[in-house]
Amino acid sequence: GEKVKQMDGDEEMQTPREVSSGEKFFEIHQDQVDAESTGADSELYHSFHSVVSVPDRDGKPESIDLPNDVLCLITAFLPLWKLAALFSHPVIRGAAARYTNIMISASRHTCAFWEAMTLNSASQWGRLFHQLKEIVHRYPWCEFGPRWCIGTLISIIEGHAHGRRQMMLDEGGPF
């Protein structure tokens, strides 16, 4: 059933909903978000680049060529909108397979990414999220708020269900 969880601090109340995806369940949290975002995304981006760039003898950043499997492990911690913008297809597939949660947020930094995503693209992303356990839907504070990007949310869930089913079939599972 539906549970209501009171969040700490300034955060809004969320309503988790369990959604079946084969044998696994994951939760969808919906709440409202203001137009501002914290600096956490920016800090994450810069810390990632400081890991893959080291100073040379002159103190200038020098890139390190990391194998795709190592990049997949590192980039699995990036927000989806940054991952999609920064990396090549093999890295995206490997990192997305390790995602355990996704936030569809109306914050000013991510809003355009989610609004531009087609339903087909959202479904394809969902197929890649093999370990997905939670989706957070942070919609804008307005009349149509709860319906903001709802098609994207549903397409990710449907794609995830298809991807999990295919993964189980490939492994000889119960589907």
pLDDT of residue 40: 45
Quick: pLDDT tens for 20-74.
Answer: 444 444 444 444 444 334 444 444 444 454 455 556 677 666 666 666 667 667 6
Quick: pLDDT tens for 89-122.
Answer: 677 788 888 888 889 988 888 888 899 999 999 9
pLDDT of residue 82: 74
pLDDT at 5 exceeding the cut of 50? no
* 62, 100 contact by CB (below 8 A): no
Choose between 124 and 56: higher pLDDT: 124
pLDDT of residue 56: 65
Distance in angstroms (rounded) separating the CA atoms of residues 119 and 136: 18
Quick: pLDDT tens for 60-79.
Answer: 666 666 666 676 676 666 77
Q: How confident is the model at residue 6 (pLDDT cuts 50, 70, 90)?
A: very low
Distance in angstroms (rounded) separating the CA atoms of residues 102 and 81: 10
Q: Among residues 159, 135, 139, 136, which one has the least CA distance to residue 149?
A: 139
3-state helix, strand, coil in the chain (%, to 5): 45, 20, 35
* 28, 135 contact by CB (below 8 A): yes
3-class SS of residue 53: strand
Which residue type is seen at 1?
A: G
Mean pLDDT of all residues in 1-12: 35
**DSSP structural state of residue 146:** G
Phi, psi of 24 (to 5 degrees): -90, 160
The tokens for 51 are: 């890991």
pLDDT at 127 exceeding the cut of 90? yes
